[in-house]
Structure 1
Amino acid sequence: MLDHDVQEVGSPSPEAGGTTRLDTVNQQLAEAYPELSPQLKLAAGYVLEHPVEIAFQSIRKSAAAAEVTASTLVRLAKRLGFDSYEQFREVFQSAVQAGPVELSGRASQLRTLASQTDDQVFLDVGDAAFDNIGRLFTADNQARVRDAARLLLGAERIAVVGFRDTFACAYHFAYVGRIAMPNIQLIRGQEGGLLTELAPFGEGDVVVAFGFEPYCAETMRALEITRAAGVSAIVVTDTMRSPLVPGASITFNVANATPHFFPSILSAITLIEVLLAECVAFGPDGLVDNVAGFETRMRQMGAYVENG
């Protein structure tokens, strides 16, 4: 099946040294995905989910794995403004060479240390957990975290959205974040109150949205409302094909694989800790004062049990 001709989007913006950041390419793919032909969607989906394979496999092997022709991958590269598939693949090679930190390699060590046991579920969960965390700590994500922290620190108000399986993420971000930044508000959307809660947010504000497949209609609605009001969005999701991605200012694609029957939120929770730590580390002195003041008030109210 041949792809239909599509209009080329703007060329990816080059970084220093002439390289294009992988996250820029991923964002463009995510934005263009709904309008692609069926064959280009297959190719784009494979590219988004298999950056390592794209970096080092031959075009024919990648095409076979994606169940498309090699010419489809070439057309996809040109759809994004590249002159050739090789130029497109160089972006992935440059990004993948940095790779995740060594944490992901500890999963195999876990298997070796526990090889005398027969609890395979325990081992599989540990394997997935270490791998998910390792995929989070990349050079691209480090730069993205810094950009997100700047966006959060410059916001007048911050709305946090996450429903059902990601409500724990939203709650954790809002609870811990408010200790340092009182302008953070958890959006609950209970009893039809989503629109009312989001009404005060507009230009100069930021919404942080969490969503994994299956994606919640309430999260999509919250992003539609805030986007229409000019609110900048930081999205934490599981794939660049997620419907939460289009229109986002910054997107974090976190791994959530697990043998468990529910998607893992471990990477998302770790990302929250990194983001909030970055805000306190590089934000104004008042954020540290807020944390100290919170602890003092909690102790004065008897919120903590003294040990010894």
Structure 2
Amino acid sequence: MPDTDSGATTGLDSINQQLAEHYSALSPQLKRAASYVLEHPMEMAFQSIRKTAQAASVTPSTLVRLAKRLGFESYEPFREVFQSAVQSAPVELSGRASKLKHQHRNPEAALFVEVGDAAFDNIGKLFTADNQTRVKEAAERMLKARRIAVVGFRDTFACAYHFAYVGRIAMPEVTLIRGQEGGLLTELAPFNEQDVVVAFGFEPYCAETVKALEITRANGVQAIVITDTLRSPLVPGASVTFTVANATPHFFPSLLAAITLSEAILAECVAFGPDQLVENVASFESRMRQLGAYVEIV
């Protein structure tokens, strides 16, 4: 991450992207500081440099060095970026969610309630003003693309399948990449700079997903990445990056926020895309009914 002579980066998104892009090249101490910065924007905004350094297990001078690596003259203007970013309140589903969360709490059903609490929290963190802007940008890139590849393996295959199935109803150019029997390279070879790849991946990150992004990046394909942290190996080179919360008492990461985000992106595409997308949806439904794909309730 070279020093810059053109002045400090003023946007939090840009700071996060720089840190994510160059994370692997940082020294161990700067990595530790960068990890804290990426994952604790609220604390960065309001803690003193000494308290932040203590929480990140680094020295205050390490935080100053990190700020200067990003082009800031000192730590204070670096921290001000975080303060500005958190001043605008996020769009949260707090009202009804809070009411539902605290109804009928049964001590004997603690785990059930825990799962529910985690689900509400994950969704609440998704609906922020920043993510709303990213959803719009992702939709714009998809609408301009010639073709859209969707990638997700193992636990996130469910996300990729849902995105591709629903997306293809409105946009026939959406393709689910399966990578079966060593066919990953063959499936991705036709995609180039006119196209977009949507990739899902949470820790532990699948080698196939990382490989798919390497292949598409080499071909100039724009990447929309949905992952769990900006330190994810899926982030470098991405055009749009979403980090979604996936906490749960369950033994595997929750996919709820990723699925919800998928629906938000696809809804944005249909809402702001050409009328043909709506016609495609109507045509699909009509065709399915003619084929007897649905059971009618009488």
Which of the five TM-score ranges fits, normalised by the shorter chain? over 0.9
Q: For 2:242 and 2:229, how far apart are their aligned partners in 1? A: 9
Match of 1:50 among 40, 43, 53: 40
Corresponding residue for residue 7 of structure 1: 2
Instruction: Report the secondary structure of 2:102's partner residue.
Output: helix
> Is 1:165–2:160 an aligned residue pair?
no
Using the aligned pairs only, state the percent identity.
75
Instruction: Report the secondary structure of 1:251's partner residue.
Output: strand
**In the TM superposition, what are the counterparts of 1:1-308 in structure 2 within 5 Å?**
7-9=2-4, 20-104=10-94, 109-308=99-298
Unmatched 5+ residue regions in structure 1?
1-5, 15-19
Relative distance call for 1:77 and 1:201 in structure 2 (3 A) is: same
Instruction: Give aligned pairs, total.
Output: 298
Shift of 1:123: 1.5
Q: For 1:38 and 1:98, how far apart are their aligned partners in 2? A: 33
TM normalised by structure 2 equals: 0.96
Q: What are the superposed Cα offsets for residues 162-197 of structure 1, whole Å, 9 maximum, x if unpaired?
A: 000100000000000000000000000000000010
Equivalent pair of 2:92/2:127 in contact (CA under 8 Å): no
Question: What code does the residue aligned with 2:193 have?
Answer: E
Further displaced range: 36-45 or 118-127:
118-127
Q: For 2:89 and 2:207, how far apart are their aligned partners in 1? A: 34
TM normalised by structure 1 equals: 0.93
Question: What code does the residue aligned with 1:265 have?
Answer: L
Q: What are the superposed Cα offsets for residues 40-71 of structure 1, whole Å, 9 maximum, x if unpaired?
A: 00000011111111111111111101000111
Q: For 1:102 and 1:203, how far apart are their aligned partners in 2? A: 36
Q: For 2:131 and 2:35, how far apart are their aligned partners in 1? A: 20
Instruction: Report the secondary structure of 1:236's partner residue.
Output: strand
Equivalent pair of 1:160/1:208 in contact (CA under 8 Å): yes
Unmatched 5+ residue regions in structure 2?
none
